[in-house]
Amino acid sequence: MATLQHALLFLASISPVISVPAENAPSKYIISLKSDATTDIESHLSWVTDVHRRSLSRRDTAGVERTFSIGSNFNAYTGEFDSETIAQIKENLNVAFVEVDVEQLVTTALVTQTDAPWGIASLSTPSLPNGNILGQKYVYDESAGGGTWAYVLDTGIFVNNTEFEGRAIKGYNAWPEDTFDDKYGHGSHVAGTIGSKTYGVAKKTTIVDVKVVRGTDGYSTIAKVLEGLDWIVKNITNTPGRAEKSVVSVSLAYAKSDVLNAGFEAAYAAGVLSVVGAANDNEDASTKSPASEPSVITVGAVDWQKTRAEWSNFGPLVDIFAPGVEIVSLWNKDDFPTTLSGTSMSTPHVSGLVLYLRGKESLLTPDDARDRLLALAQKGVVVNEGVGSPNFLAYHGAGA
């Protein structure tokens, strides 16, 4: 019986999440006593000190460093011990847990923004008190998508906007005959929702401008989108560690195109995740590309009361809904907050959300990121989601 307990205790004391290379054997530990320990902490510590002193391999280890007690029956201590001493501590019947104590990245500090647009606010709380388009409360982890990359396929971005704080950079212009600026405003609005200081979901991400739409009229071709996507996939896959920290955000919709879909499928196969608008025709998303490509995350739009926008596409190819009605964000000049509606606006909410999650957690593959996004989503709350749509609403819940 005693042997069995020892065996269980030993298993419980090895943390499965921390793996330390053998040649680098850990020496810092945190140890807790059982709540029904048959000795007091002082007697236990004097026993530990004794064992440590007698250990032949104790050379460079300090022994007990500090003790803790919380409430009436939680006692613990930290210390630096050699393997011989720690083996004896693990055998001690009064010891509950022995864990290696290493520095870990823990990001739990929350930041609250009180002048937020309703869309980003709704990602952090289960329901909003009113439909004010600004002045809402957005709560987010302070990591805020730091270390992540948003590749925005659009009309260009006014990267000089102070709202981007220098985090928006020029990537590639598929229309060299047109200057590499946002003459329209659409791309700047999208990028603003992903990562600007006031309107953005992931306020520390880096935004890469990939201009595939020309001029002031929103004109482009499938070839130009594929050219931009090709540049993005090369840029990502030629940079070690970039894919798992990136998203391609695509607020563009073309008539169904097998070629365009195949291009996005190839990006996915290379480990590159794309988030795509379902488009605004109040019909099944199978009629549009790249919305109809199964490997991308396809996004429909809701209003602040979680009702699908009357124009949002729907159906089984949609993965998730997000805010897309009366969204305030940036335009192609400074100090010009602009309110727009569309799946162009719901898409960057999800792009920003995926970057927020990828900044905070290890979500290595496109499927890892999608699974996490869908696991966190609010389920069954979207009103009139449309025939065949999954009833999922984008959410991280940091302010719940």
Ligand X SMILES: *[C@@H]1O[C@H](CO)[C@@H](O)[C@H](O)[C@H]1NC(C)=O
Candidates 235, 251, 329, 344; binder of ligand X (CB under 6 A) is 235
- 3 state SS of 302: strand
> Which residue, 239 or 384, has its beta carbon nearer to ligand X?
239
Q: Could you tell me which stretch among 65-73, 191-199, 235-243, 373-381 binds ligand X (CB under 6 A)?
A: 235-243
Strands 95-100 and 28-33: antiparallel
Look at residues 37, 29, 27, 28 and name the one whose alpha carbon lies nearest to residue 75.
37
Q: How many residues bind ligand X (CB under 6 A)?
A: 8
Exposed/middle/buried for 334, CB within 10 Å: 0-12, 13-18, 19+? exposed
Q: Is 162 in the site for ligand X (CB under 6 A)?
A: no
> Which residue, 71 or 240, has its beta carbon nearer to ligand X?
240
Q: Could you tell me which stretch among 72-80, 104-112, 233-241, 357-365 binds ligand X (CB under 6 A)?
A: 233-241
CA–CA dist 71, 172 (Å, integer) = 60
Residue 99: φ, ψ to 5°: -130, 145
Distance of CA 275 to the CA centre of its chain: 13
Report the nearest approach of ligand X to the CB of residue 187 (Å).
12
Q: Is 239 in the site for ligand X (CB under 6 A)?
A: yes
> Which residue, 242 or 256, has its beta carbon nearer to ligand X?
242
> Which residue, 160 or 162, has its beta carbon nearer to ligand X?
160
Candidates 24, 72, 108, 238; binder of ligand X (CB under 6 A) is 238
Candidates 145, 146, 171, 195; binder of ligand X (CB under 6 A) is 171
How many other C-beta atoms lie within 10 A of the C-beta of residue 1? 5
Candidates 80, 82, 154, 181; binder of ligand X (CB under 6 A) is 181
- 3 state SS of 222: helix
Exposed/middle/buried for 130, CB within 10 Å: 0-12, 13-18, 19+? exposed
Residues 188, 168 contacting (CB under 8 angstroms): no
Q: Would you name the residues annotated as active-site residues? A: 154, 186, 344
> Which residue, 307 or 338, has its beta carbon nearer to ligand X?
338
Report the nearest approach of ligand X to the CB of residue 237 (Å).
8
Q: Which residues bind ligand X (CB under 6 A)?
A: 158, 160, 169, 171, 181, 235, 238-239
